[in-house]
Structure 1
Amino acid sequence: MINKKQAFKIVTAMLIAAFAALPLTIQAQDTELFESVRSSDHYSLESMINNGMDIDQMDQSKNTALMVAAKIGDKLVVDALLDNNANPNITNSAGATALMIAAKYGHAHVVDRLLQHNADPLIQNHNGIRASRFAIAYGHDNVYRQLLDAEQDALKGDGELTRTTS
């Protein structure tokens, strides 16, 4: 039988091994595209886009470069990706879209650009939450109103009440 002290040592060793491996896993999964987005390196990003890089590629959490840009709120990066046909309706492993992420962080200018590029405000994440709910939950009233208007327009357009991620 294992006593508490032995169990603690085993669990501690497992955690240390897991944390030691983590940086290598993250670095191995990171690409030049994501590095350019995170560092707001507009020149490298444009070069990669011009050389035909897949701008909808995903990281290990199924985030796209557009999702990362939506979190950061860099208008030039968001514009470069959207102007080169980045898909704003791709969902990550939690079912979140770039629109939900921009709403959570209160980036009204990004929300506006995403909506102009056909981001669907009716998509719900795996928990049934739309982008507008992220905005209000994080205290971004102006983004919330912006998304409510977009939801109403979308509902008038096709009559669908909800959309969920798969």
Structure 2
Amino acid sequence: MRRLAPFALAVGLVAAITATAAAQPGPSHVCLALARDLQQSARPLEGRALAEALFEAASLDCPGIAADMLARGASVTARNRTGATALTLASARGAGEVVDLLLAAGAALDHRDLRGATPLLHAARAKRRPMVRRLLAAGADPDAADIKGVTPLIAAAFNGDARMVQQLIEGGAEPGRADASGKDAMIYAAGRGFAQVVSVLIAAGVDVAAPRGNGLTPLMWAAGHANDAPEREAIAAAGALVAAGADLSPVDKRGRDALMIAAERGHAAMVAWLLEQGADPSRRDHAGARAADLVASPELRRLLAR
């Protein structure tokens, strides 16, 4: 069977990488290992093996190997078992040089894998801010959503990356677009206590008052924020919403307002802050319960009884 020893990959590329690979771990070391694996493989580099080698080079950020595979005829349209192309893998890895090579070779910028995710969405989910910038500059669709309706902007908001959210908005992303569950970037940012993201979205004109699914407003999501969100950040997010015009009085489909939701979730600092803002602890939901009736903590119940 053919081997790679006579080819540039085994000679020029391995020699070029060896000088730095021994000195430090990282991409050079990884790429050298990949080059050696390819050199020692008994499989001829053609067909599926060639595509797999390109996938590996993209996943590991090895532009020299990627260029060699493309020169040997590797197809940029080849897909792995998840429907991802080499461009998808390189984008998720943040492999800028590899992405440039693939785009120059004709890779589909907005290719969707089996879950409908584009390279830009993969980059956003992987928190690859420079890659997001690169793909947007290349013309990637900023609003391309996966099968669940998740857009790159929603992914960036979920991750709490305010700079990426700004990047995507400047790149043309629709800031108020919702996913299949009815939640938009504002809801994810508020519910996870990402105050900076909330502020960016407010500046972009996202409605802070309109109810989303089940009648829940962004303020209600901030009030009932995720348990792993620092309470101070969640309160900052709620404060930004109130300053932008969010009202404390709306209720969800159960008849519960932001104070009731915070109380039920056991968020004492948020409850105290909402009371300071004028929330009414005497209000009752559709079942007749007040905020104090929804808490398990005696201390919180006393706070609500004042």
Whole-angstrom CA distance in 1 between matches of 2:109 and 2:137: 11
Query: Counterpart in 2 of 1:143?
Result: 197
2:97 is the alignment partner of 1:54? no
For residues 36-47 of structure 1, the aligned pairs below 5 Å read 36-47=90-101
Query: Counterpart in 2 of 1:68?
Result: 122
Whole-angstrom CA distance in 2 between matches of 1:54 and 1:151: 32
Structure 2, unmatched stretches of 5+, are 1-78, 211-306
Q: Which TM-score applies when normalising by structure 1?
A: 0.72
Please report the RMSD computed on the Cα atoms of aligned residues, expressed in angstroms.
2.1
2:138 is the alignment partner of 1:84? yes
For residues 68-147 of structure 1, the aligned pairs below 5 Å read 68-147=122-201
| Structure with the bigger percentage of helix | 1
Q: Secondary structure at the match of 2:154?
A: helix
Q: Which amino acid aligns with 1:125?
A: D
Whole-angstrom CA distance in 2 between matches of 1:85 and 1:77: 12
Whole-angstrom CA distance in 2 between matches of 1:28 and 1:124: 25
Whole-angstrom CA distance in 2 between matches of 1:93 and 1:68: 13
Q: Which amino acid aligns with 1:107?
A: D
Q: Which amino acid aligns with 2:194?
A: H
The aligned length equals 131
Any conservation in 1 of the 2:84–2:112 contact (CA below 8 Å)?
no
Any conservation in 1 of the 2:92–2:128 contact (CA below 8 Å)?
no
**Percent of aligned positions that are identical:** 25
Q: Which TM-score applies when normalising by structure 2?
A: 0.40
